[in-house]
Structures are given as structure tokens and as C-alpha cells.
């Protein structure tokens, strides 16, 4: 009897270890497209405006597309959401097991959904808007956060390849009467561990059959499509310390919230400013504001470099920027301003990896809108010692031209 018990215990331990090893770790990036029924969209927006919903929050409802980036480690997940083609993070959510927290990185507002009661309270606020096409008598938590994939039905023997992943197509009936089924393209080449098959965000990415690569649905004339754009499996830094390193409730952590000190730039156009107006920014790793015009007495040119940790072309251009900076060190100062990444630890990690020197800071929304109205990065602006704008644009392939301007040739 004892030997049987030991055998069962050994078998259980083996199963647990295998489950632990099978968890997914890495980064997933999805694009979510929405084709709105304009009549329902107008009713939805009007209804929320009557309830006093802010225009910032309403952007989530009328966006035509949404980019989602998920950092996944064991049962922890960090999600960043970008709306349309915006380079600024619209919202962040953090999940650890059954704990879910959503964060507005601009206002610092946090909503903690640590149990089903709080989830029901938060999402039933939506039900006060009876003009919304999503309105129901009451939110069924299981239908929103605990999708039951047991009713997945294979609709074709044909398998499709998306992002090199072979997918099987399934349909899943809606738990809401009168709603159409949702179609899923699922690959069994990427699977989650047992601890990751939990509600909330994980539940919208993984099924027991594998990773959701594509999803299509239609709700009262509104059509939705989610598709996996990039998968980067591999070790990532622990997520919980990243959350704890960001205190969104204090000014020194809101490096991008420049409404207080760059208000004079609101509505201004850089095309109409032959001389760069003064502006302020937070340096990376500091809560001491710096301002541009403090450089006026240096007698040096200034190159303002706008970049993002998530921007491949920006990262590829860094060696050229470093070489240019070294060659012109006696005549020039570089101010590199990061766009939209609120993870101070990760920004510093990228800086160290690429040996970035010079002044490193964050560009808030007002500063971004003024310096780079086209929103394309990398983007550089060259100023003479009197802050006159000499050149602006994509620096790729233009380093020799910039060097000639600095040398006065």
C-alpha cells in the first residue's frame, strides 16, 4: 500500500513539474480591429457622455483599432494598450493569478478587481448606459472573464498558417442569447501552463487547446477581428517588481504628464516656430525638471532625438546617433526623449544595453504633439546655439547633412 502511495505521489509531482515547465513566457502582440455600426456607436457615445464619462475614456469605445502588447511570465501578465496609431500608452493592466489591476498612466487612476464582486460592480457600471449595444440586464461574470471553451466546435478540417503557426478553426456559441458565435483560429504549437489557464486577460489569449492566433466576432452590426502580429517567446524580467517600481499616484512618476509645465505649447505648431520655444521634461531616473533654454549659455548646437523602446527603426539608428554625438561632442549636445514607455526600469535597461549617453528624458503628450505632429519616429530636430530650428525629420541617412550643418558647411 505504501509503495502505491509513493508511486502516486511521484506521479503527481511529475505532473506538476511538467505543468510548470509547459507555461508560456515571452511577449505577444495583437492588433484588434473594430468596424463600427455608426448608429450604435453614436448611441453608445451619447449615452456615456450623459453619464459624465471623460473623452479620454471614450476614445476606447470609438477607436478603429487597438494594439495590445502582453508581457507574460508564469501567472503574471502586463498588458499595454495603444489606440489607433497613437504612440502613447492608453492603458495598462496587471494580472497576477486572480488579481487584476487596471491603470491609466496619464491620470494615475487605478482600479483593482481582486474578486468577482468587484468585477461585477465595475462592469455593471456599463449597464447604466442603456444606449450601448453591449447593454444587458446584468453582466454575467463567467461570460466576460471565464469563457467556457468546452463548446468549441471544429468547423473545418482545413488548417491555416498565420505568423508561421498552424491553426485549427473553431466556432464558439455566445453565452448571450441572440448573439452570433465567435470564430477562433487556435494553434496547439504554443500552449499555456495549468496556472495560466485562469480568468481575466489570460482567458482571452489562451484556451486549453492552445494559443488564440485570430478571433472574429460580430455584435449588433459591430464587427471585430483580433490577430496575432508578433510572438517573442523567451525569458523576461519578473513583472511584479515592474508594477511596484511605478508609483502612478505621484508627480515624479508621471514623467509624461506635462500638462502643468508645457501648457504654453498646446495648439502651437512647430512649423510656425523658427526658434524653438522653451519646454520642460523629466530626465530618466530623476524627478528634477530640466528645461531646454538652460542650454542657451553653452554655445552648443542641440539635437533633440525622439525615440521609443518599442520602435525597431529607432533602435537600429542608435549606433549612428552615438557615432554622430561622439564626433560632434565639442559643438553639440544630444537630448534624447523617450515616447510612451512608462517602465522606467526597462527604459534604463535599453539605455544601458545600447550605451546611450547624453541627456535622456521623457516627452509628455503636449511636447510630443508639438515636436512631432506627424508621429513618425525616429525623429530628430537640430537647433543652433540660439535655438533656431535648422533641420527636422528622420535622421536615418541624414547624419552627414546634420554634421555639415553643425560645422557650418
Domains of the chain: 19-244 (2.50.20.10), 251-407 (3.40.30.10)
Write the CB contacts of 322 (distance below 8 Å, at least 6 apart in sequence). Answer: 354, 355, 356, 357
Give how far Cα 301 sits from Cα of 7, 59, 295, 386, Å.
74, 39, 9, 8
pLDDT at 177 over 80: no
Q: What is the mean pLDDT of residues 250-256?
A: 42
User: In angstroms, rounded to a whole number, what is the distance separating the alpha carbons of residues 165 and 189?
Assistant: 7
Q: Tell me the pLDDT band of 13, cut-offs 50, 70 and 90.
A: very low
User: In angstroms, rounded to a whole number, what is the distance separating the alpha carbons of residues 95 and 205?
Assistant: 13
Continuous H helices in 179-311: 239-244
Residue 14 host element (H or E)? helix 2-21
pLDDT at 158 over 70: yes
Q: Tell me the pLDDT band of 62, cut-offs 50, 70 and 90.
A: confident
More confident residue, 42 or 403: 403
More confident residue, 66 or 248: 66
Average pLDDT, the chain: 80
User: In angstroms, rounded to a whole number, what is the distance separating the alpha carbons of residues 96 and 272?
Assistant: 48
pLDDT at 247 over 60: no
Task: Tell me the percentage of the chain whose pLDDT exceeds 90.
Answer: 35
Task: Tell me the percentage of the chain whose pLDDT exceeds 70.
Answer: 77
β-partners of residue 382 are: 303, 391
pLDDT at position 47 is 78
Q: What is the per-residue pLDDT across 181-222, written as a single tens digit (0 to 9) for each? A: 999 999 999 998 877 887 778 888 999 999 999 999 988 788
- Antiparallel, parallel or unpaired: β 110-113 and 99-103: antiparallel
pLDDT at position 19 is 40
User: In angstroms, rounded to a whole number, what is the distance separating the alpha carbons of residues 219 and 225?
Assistant: 12
User: In angstroms, rounded to a whole number, what is the distance separating the alpha carbons of residues 298 and 333?
Assistant: 9
Q: Which residues of 43-76 are buried (b: 16+ CB within 10 A; e: fewer)?
A: bbbebbeeeebeeeeeeebebeebbbbbbbbbbb
SS3 at position 196? helix
- Antiparallel, parallel or unpaired: β 359-362 and 332-338: parallel
Q: What is the per-residue pLDDT across 319-358, written as a single tens digit (0 to 9) for each? A: 999 999 999 999 999 999 988 776 666 778 888 888 888 8
SS3 at position 170? strand
Backbone dihedral angles phi then psi of residue 197, each to the nearest 5 degrees: -85, 65
User: In angstroms, rounded to a whole number, what is the distance separating the alpha carbons of residues 370 and 373?
Assistant: 6
Backbone dihedral angles phi then psi of residue 170, each to the nearest 5 degrees: -130, 160
Q: Tell me the pLDDT band of 133, cut-offs 50, 70 and 90.
A: very low
Q: Contact, 382 vs 390, CB < 8 A?
A: yes
pLDDT at 386 over 90: yes
Residue 383 host element (H or E)? strand 379-383
Q: What is the per-residue pLDDT across 14-55, written as a single tens digit (0 to 9) for each? A: 433 344 446 899 999 999 999 988 887 888 788 777 777 777
pLDDT at position 57 is 74
β-partners of residue 332 are: 301
pLDDT at position 43 is 82
Q: Contact, 231 vs 28, CB < 8 A?
A: yes
Angle at 205 between CA 204 and CA 211, to 5 degrees: 140
Give how far Cα 408 sits from Cα of 18, 345, 404, 405, Å.
66, 39, 6, 5
User: In angstroms, rounded to a whole number, what is the distance separating the alpha carbons of residues 402 and 409?
Assistant: 10
Q: Contact, 283 vs 290, CB < 8 A?
A: yes
Q: What is the mean pLDDT of residues 113-132?
A: 56
Residue 238 has which C-alpha cell? 519578473
Ordered DSSP codes for 96-148: ETTEEEEE-TTT--EEEE-SHHHHHHHHGGGGG-TTSTT--SS--HHHHHS--
Ordered DSSP codes for 337-372: EE-S---HHHHHHHHHHTT--SEEEE--HHHHHHH-
The pTM for the full model equals 0.57
303 exposed, middle or buried (CB, 10 Å; 0-12, 13-18, 19+)?
A: buried
Amino acid at each position: 500500500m505504501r509503495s502505491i502511495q509513493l508511486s502516486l505521489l511521484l506521479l503527481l509531482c511529475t505532473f506538476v513539474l511538467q505543468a510548470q515547465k509547459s507555461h508560456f513566457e515571452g511577449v505577444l502582440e495583437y492588433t484588434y480591429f473594430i468596424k463600427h455600426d455608426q448608429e450604435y456607436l453614436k448611441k453608445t457615445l451619447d449615452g456615456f457622455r450623459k453619464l459624465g464619462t471623460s473623452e479620454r475614456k471614450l476614445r476606447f469605445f470609438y477607436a478603429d483599432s487597438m494594439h495590445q502588447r502582453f508581457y507574460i511570465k508564469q501567472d503574471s501578465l502586463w498588458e499595454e494598450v495603444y489606440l489607433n496609431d497613437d504612440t502613447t500608452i492608453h492603458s495598462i493592466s496587471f494580472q497576477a493569478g486572480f488579481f487584476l489591476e487596471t491603470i491609466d498612466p496619464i491620470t494615475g487612476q487605478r482600479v483593482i478587481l481582486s474578486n468577482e464582486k468587484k468585477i461585477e460592480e465595475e462592469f455593471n457600471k456599463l449597464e447604466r448606459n442603456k444606449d450601448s449595444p453591449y447593454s444587458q440586464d446584468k453582466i454575467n461574470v463567467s461570460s466576460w472573464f471565464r469563457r467556457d471553451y468546452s463548446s468549441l466546435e471544429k468547423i473545418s478540417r482545413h488548417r491555416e498558417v498565420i505568423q508561421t503557426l498552424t491553426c485549427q478553426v473553431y466556432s464558439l456559441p455566445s453565452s448571450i442569447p441572440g448573439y452570433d458565435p465567435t470564430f477562433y483560429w487556435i494553434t496547439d504549437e504554443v500552449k499555456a501552463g495549468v496556472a495560466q489557464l485562469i480568468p481575466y486577460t489570460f482567458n482571452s489569449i489562451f484556451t486549453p487547446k492552445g494559443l488564440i492566433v485570430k478571433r472574429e466576432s460580430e455584435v449588433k452590426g459591430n464587427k471585430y477581428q483580433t490577430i496575432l502580429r508578433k510572438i517573442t517567446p523567451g525569458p523576461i524580467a519578473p513583472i511584479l517588481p515592474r508594477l511596484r517600481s511605478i508609483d502612478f499616484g505621484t508627480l515624479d512618476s508621471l514623467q509624461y504628464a506635462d500638462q502643468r509645465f508645457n501648457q504654453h505649447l498646446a495648439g502651437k505648431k512647430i512649423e510656425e516656430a523658427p526658434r524653438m520655444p522653451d519646454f520642460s521634461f523629466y530626465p530618466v531616473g530623476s524627478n528634477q525638471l530640466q528645461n531646454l533654454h538652460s542650454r542657451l549659455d553653452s554655445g552648443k548646437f542641440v539635437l533633440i532625438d525622439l525615440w521609443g523602446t518599442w520602435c525597431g527603426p529607432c533602435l537600429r539608428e542608435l549606433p549612428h546617433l552615438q557615432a554622430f554625438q561622439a564626433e560632434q561632442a565639442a559643438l553639440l549636445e544630444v537630448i534624447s526623449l523617450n515616447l510612451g514607455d512608462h517602465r522606467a526600469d526597462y527604459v534604463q535597461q535599453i539605455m544601458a544595453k545600447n550605451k546611450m549617453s547624453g541627456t535622456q528624458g521623457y516627452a509628455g503628450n503636449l511636447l510630443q504633439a508639438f515636436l512631432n505632429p506627424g508621429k513618425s519616429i525616429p525623429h530628430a530636430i537640430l537647433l543652433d546655439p540660439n535655438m533656431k530650428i535648422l533641420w527636422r525629420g528622420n535622421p536615418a541617412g541624414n547624419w552627414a547633412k546634420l554634421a555639415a550643418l553643425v560645422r557650418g558647411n
